[in-house]
Amino acid sequence: MAEEVKKRVFSGVQPTGKVTLGNYLGAIRNWTPLQEQYDCLFCVVDLHSLTVTQVPAELRKNTLDLVALYIACGLDPDKSALFIQSHVHEHAELAWILDTIAYVGELNRMTQFKDKSRKHADNINMGLMNYPVLMASDILLYQTEYVPVGKDQVQHVELTRNIAERFNARYSDTFAVPQCLLSKSGNSIKSLLEPTAKMSKSDPNDNAIITLTDSADTVRRKLRRAVTDSDTDVRCVHSSPSKPGVSNLLNIYSLCADVTVEEAEKQFEGKGYGVFKDAVADAVIAVLEPIQAEQKRLLSDKAYLENVLGQGAEKASRIAQKTLAKVYRKVGLIPRVR
Ligand code: ATP
Ligand code: LTN
């Protein structure tokens, strides 16, 4: 029987700081089960992170930390290609071609661009605007069918689809047109202090986020201080617009303790916020501790990580070269004769 060709999955996270519980619950954790069914590539998108100012030494550290974290979270280098974006030069090269396909108007409308322009008003660089085109390049290089991301990235994947369809219409069928894979838990995890905004690793207030490297004490302290509600009704109700803080904590609890939100609501009925917050902390700590231990172990074995990255980049390069050669040919560039 002919071997079944597995559909391809691609995703990535920027090495822009400490990975948050939001990144984990909204993205990385949902990648692990995909490895059984799909041909997966998971990337640390270091080129993307340059769109906001980085300290070079920190960027290097964050990049390796993130690779170790991927593995500690259950991504298996024997099943998936794990690699660093800048190790495969085709990403930047395809982005240039796609720049000639994407319109300034559509990039200008991207929510993330508008948000980041506000946050980094002193550094609205071309890369920031171009960010979604590089992301489209990441995805399209691998003929990706599914892109598992959090809700905040849906707009970028939509743009990627538009770019792929426009290119295919102009130059004939070249790219697979990818789809988002939003898991059930793809709902956004919110800031602990401002529960209508998403928990984001670049949040300047460390108390607003739980990072995957936070100690048990830190997790407990941050959760005790998390905003709940101004009213005196200590019921834990989910999805009440007047209780975004409680909703967020219930959501975190349900994802970490692996129970439904309804079950969690029942469990904490009449218990009050103190007991509730401590239980959320226990559930989060139980998720984080084994990941932290494994990440630490991996980071002490640099040779192993380098080997994983070498193999990942090799596999990624093989696919990327093929797509880029096809694209260059289709748009009319002459191949170099060797
Ligand atoms: P930055 O603050 O640097 O913009 P970020 O925390 O938003 O970073 P990204 O690297 O942009 O993280 O995102 C990595 C992945 O995590 C994406 O798939 C994104 O959708 C997901 N993600 C990020 N924040 C959350 C969140 N609060 N809830 C759920 N998913 C999230
Ligand atoms: N923009 C994404 C990170 C990212 C990505 C990708 C995700 C860059 N390239 C390709 C999926 C596929 C983010 O999460 N902020």
CA 325–ligand 1 middle distance (angstroms)? 32
Assigned domain for 194 exists: no
Q: How far is CA 326 from its chain centroid?
A: 28
Residues 216 and 171 in one domain: no
Per-residue pLDDT, 24: 94
Assigned domain for 267 exists: yes
Residue nearest to atom 16 of ligand 1 (CA): 23
At 159-181, the pLDDT tens digits run 999 999 999 999 999 999 999 99
As a whole number of angstroms, the distance between CA 11 and CA 22 comes to: 15
What is the maximum span of the chain, computed from C-alpha positions, in angstroms? 75
Residue 241, judged by CB atoms within 10 A of its CB (0-12, 13-18, 19+), counts as: exposed
Please give the number of the atom of ligand 2 that sits closest to the Cα of 85: 9
Residues 145 and 272 in one domain: no
Residue nearest to atom 13 of ligand 1 (CA): 13
Residues 96 and 15 in one domain: yes
Q: How confident is the model at residue 297 (pLDDT cuts 50, 70, 90)?
A: very high
Residues 236 and 311 in one domain: no
SS3 content of the chain, % helix, strand, coil (to 5): 60, 10, 35
Query: Stretch 115-136: mean pLDDT, rounded?
Result: 96
Ranked by mean pLDDT, the top range of 165-174, 178-187, 246-255 is: 165-174
Please give the number of the atom of ligand 1 that sits closest to the Cα of 17: 3
Q: How far is CA 80 from CA 9, 10, 11, 13, 258, in A?
A: 10, 10, 11, 15, 25
Residues 125 and 170 in one domain: yes
Percent of the chain whose pLDDT exceeds 70: 94
CA 97–ligand 1 middle distance (angstroms)? 27
Residues 177 and 222 in one domain: no
| 116 belongs to the catalytic site | yes
- Phi, psi for residue 44 in degrees, rounded to 5: -100, 110
Per-residue pLDDT, 233: 52
Best probe residue, ligand 2, of 9, 16, 28, 43 (max atoms within 8 Å of C-beta): 43
CA 219–ligand 2 middle distance (angstroms)? 27
Assigned domain for 42 exists: yes
Assigned domain for 175 exists: yes
Q: Strand, helix or coil at 83?
A: strand
At 50-66, the pLDDT tens digits run 999 999 999 999 999 99
- Residue 194, both tokens: 């401002």
Is the separation of the CB atoms in 166 and 101 below 8 Å? yes
Residues 129 and 72 in one domain: yes
Assigned domain for 191 exists: no
Overall number of domains in the chain: 2
- What kind and span of H or E run contains 39? strand 39-44
At 35-94, the pLDDT tens digits run 999 999 999 999 999 999 999 999 999 999 999 999 999 999 999 999 999 999 999 999
Residues 102 and 136 in one domain: yes
Per-residue pLDDT, 54: 95
Assigned domain for 262 exists: yes
Give the domain CATH number at 250: 1.10.240.10
Residues 6 or more apart whose CB falls under 8 angstroms from that of 143 comprise 8, 175, 176, 319, 323
Please give the number of the atom of ligand 2 that sits closest to the Cα of 132: 1
Pick the catalytic residue from 116, 222, 243, 277. 116
pLDDT at 201 over 90: no
Assigned domain for 288 exists: yes
Q: How confident is the model at residue 323 (pLDDT cuts 50, 70, 90)?
A: very high
Per-residue pLDDT, 285: 98
Is the separation of the CB atoms in 192 and 226 below 8 Å? yes
Residues 309 and 166 in one domain: yes
| Higher local confidence (pLDDT), 276 or 230 | 276
| 296 belongs to the catalytic site | no
- Phi, psi for residue 335 in degrees, rounded to 5: -70, 145
Domain that holds residue 310: 8-182+302-331
Give the domain CATH number at 36: 3.40.50.620
pLDDT at 240 over 80: no
Is the separation of the CB atoms in 312 and 305 below 8 Å? no
Per-residue pLDDT, 26: 87
Ligand 2 cavity residues, CB under 6 Å: 10-14, 45, 48, 135, 138-139, 147, 149, 153, 156
Q: Which amino acid is at 265?
A: E
Q: What's the predicted TM-score (pTM) here?
A: 0.93
**Which ligand is closest to the CA of 11, given by its number?**
2
Is the separation of the CB atoms in 222 and 210 below 8 Å? yes
Residues 142 and 63 in one domain: yes
Pick the catalytic residue from 6, 18, 79, 201. 201
Is the separation of the CB atoms in 190 and 244 below 8 Å? yes
| 198 belongs to the catalytic site | yes
Residues 110 and 139 in one domain: yes
Is the separation of the CB atoms in 237 and 243 below 8 Å? yes
Residues 6 or more apart whose CB falls under 8 angstroms from that of 60 comprise none
Assigned domain for 219 exists: yes
Residues 178 and 89 in one domain: yes
Per-residue pLDDT, 272: 86
Best probe residue, ligand 2, of 51, 153, 188, 189 (max atoms within 8 Å of C-beta): 153
